[in-house]
Chains A and B, each alone.
Chain A
Amino acid sequence: MNGKEYIKKEYIKIENLSKKFGEEQVLKNVNISFEQGKIHGIIGRNGSGKTMLLKAICGFIVPTSGSVTVAGRQIGRDLDFPDHTGIMLDNSGFLPYYSGFRNLSTLASIRGTATKKKIRDAIRKVGLDPSMKKHVGKYSLGMRQRLALAQAFMEDPDLLLLDEPMNGLDRHGMEEVRGMLMGLRDTGKTLLIATHIADDIKLMCDTVCEMEAGELRILRPADSSGQQL
């Protein structure tokens, strides 16, 4: 296996990852690799550590022990946060007095990679109108969720980390978003989705693992090895 193939197979590599807050251990010796170009589902009860695992991959938390490597670069050592990554965690923090387009333009101005056209396309893709002047503060939960999704992929990232992406969406909206996420996978993107919706797992995810009290268990591996997700 050459370097490129190795990175494709182990696009996200988590080794012996543990995280403690005081006496509470929220991640317990997590070992797993996620392959590029697939949708990986993480399920688990509230407080099981799903979001914390995503935050560790993002580089938002400093591991007590172990490491996270994304595309061959170790988070915290080689770079602070993974490159070319879009995230949707908890609350996407839009400015309530800005329109959806202005919010996304503000965020896009940091990396400077997304053009106005790309931003408009991303907003349209999630079923919103980019010319809508309505302030985000007046958006419904579902609309905010769609905008958060547009924010995550507007810069064409290689990796998408999504925490409960279907929150606040109606049945029709869920189907639309699922189709869109599968479309992103088909273009070679890697998606890591924390969810508790059974249909998401059944219909979208190529691999599934479960978090329980900070421990990760593989439920549906990608191949027969049982370790490589």
Chain B
Amino acid sequence: MTPWIATYLWLLPAVPLAVSLMILNLGPSRRAEAGTLAILGQIAALALAVTAFLPTLQAPGWRAFQNFTWFTFGGNALRIGWVLDPLGAAMLVMITLVGLCIFIFSVGYMADDRNFSRFFAYLSFFSAAMLGLVIANSLLLLFVCWELVGLASYLLIGFWIHKPSAAAAAKKAFITTRIGDLGLLVGIFWLYSGSGSLLFYDEGRGCLESAALLSLGTSATFIALLIFCGAAGKSGQFPLHVWLPDAMEGPTPVSALIHAATMVAAGVFLVARVYPLFSLGAVNGVTPSLTVVVWIGVTTALMAALIALAQADIKRILAYSTVSQLGLMMVSLGVGGVAAGVMHLLAHGFFKALLFLGAGSVIHGCHHDQDIRNMGGLRRLMPVTFLTYAVGMMSLSGVPLLFSGGWTKEEILHATAAWPPSHVPHYLLLAGVVLTALYMTRQIIYVFFGNRRAASEHARESPAVMTLPLIVLAVCTIALSVVLTPAWPWLHDYLIKETPHLDIARLRLVQPMLLLSLGLVTAGIGLGVLLYHKIGEIDPLARAQPGLFRFLENKMWLDELYARTVVAWSRIAACLSDWMDRHFWDGLVRGLGHVGQLFGIFTASFDEHGINTGVDEATTGTRGLGRIMSDLHSGQIQTYLGAIAIGMLALLVLAWLI
């Protein structure tokens, strides 16, 4: 039996969308109503998400979908619909819960902003689009929502539009993700022509079900890679990751919600959703497309972790950390650990949102200075922020046992260790674990320890409306680990559609990996403390390896490389087109115009002198004749009678002559 929520799943995105429109209609002056409405909408969405989550617990692998025809063209009906399954349900709960915390936090963070209402309208709009993306049962509907979250991201990155850097960052994010989306769109077309359906599940006819997959054959590899282009753009994978750090120009809650917890995870979610396409024809769990995903993910994870080591902006460090973690998730999906990747995605959603909100609280306290070199000693001034931030930091670093991030990261390491083709990704990820611990230690030492510096001089703890969401998220981060332990891998089994059961003995099995990751994290944190415990004017790394530091500080010169190549080429192409337009096409059009003009002059003169004169002459002649005729009509009846007589006589003479 289908529960009602599966039929009415569309309510989930509809509620925030309605709220967004209502807020926009309220106008900018109704600030309190706007905030309340947005939070109420998010609470409703959370309630619906939990309602949707409950039926998926009934049986392992429970799934319900609802399809209908959107429109018909020719003989083809384009069908869309929504689906409720463990993957989607878990995402729904995470998105709405994290979203609610961030909405509440925003009330405090954006309190002084002039465009408070607009901010909440955009946030609600984003929430609607993201929920739509998760429930979509059709690649087409998913793509529509995909573009809508892109739009919301664009609007919110450029929220402080008066800052030129924000406007540029919004544009960059929009255009860079569009490059990936082009691949995704081509993949969608190919998939539609190959399998004849864009529905994921449709009682055996969906494109993810065996019949359609068999008909795709080898083209599935190319379709999967094209879809991965879109996922790479959205999830900030190398080489399309450049937009994500720049997106930090947006308000911090936006960074937390869109550019850390939810939207950037959409790429990972997409790959997990269409995973059958990637794994089709797998030998030993390896396919060409999945191998590409693994190597891109490893490159991204390591590169971003290295860059994060040399950044000075508190949000940029977190942004590169997000890029790195998304790479980690991609690797996990690529090596076959779908559940591990999604688990890390869910856990990451909580602790990265926590870290970003913590950073937001710090920035709020430091009067919107974001440079960690100007902070310091905030531990005593902002105790709640510090404690929650530490929870997030340890979860991100992968400290085992207590924090959710540790468990999920370990799952991923397990999955990579078992990858048949190569062990290199596994070792590179182990290095990544050390780097993650290192840069997070560096950041936390800069911000919270040591002496107070310029920006932290007058810092104070944020109000309860901002610290409360931090506490909730920190509790979630720790509480989530309950369902992640190997002894009771409830979330893992839930996602891979098996019945979870408790087995303490399994704890022993994973001990080597547990000890290894504990050792690596300790090494990373220890190295961090050693390096950064006495920080002077110059970064210790910069003193030891100035060249390398400059290389990392400037993001491996990738932006400059793109500016010299892709951007420069498009600029040249634009100039060329402009020149063609101005001189060639313009001239052609103008010449044609002249020909038309000449013809016009010719016809005008023909009209004037030919036709007009003829008509004039004809009328004048007719008028003269009429005058003569009218003169004959004298009114003298005897003249008429005489004329008749003479006429008769003439006729008679004529008849007689003939």
| Binding partners A and B | no
Could you list which residues of chain A lie within 8 angstroms of chain B, going by C-beta atoms?
Answer: none
Which residues of B line the A interface, CB within 8 A? none
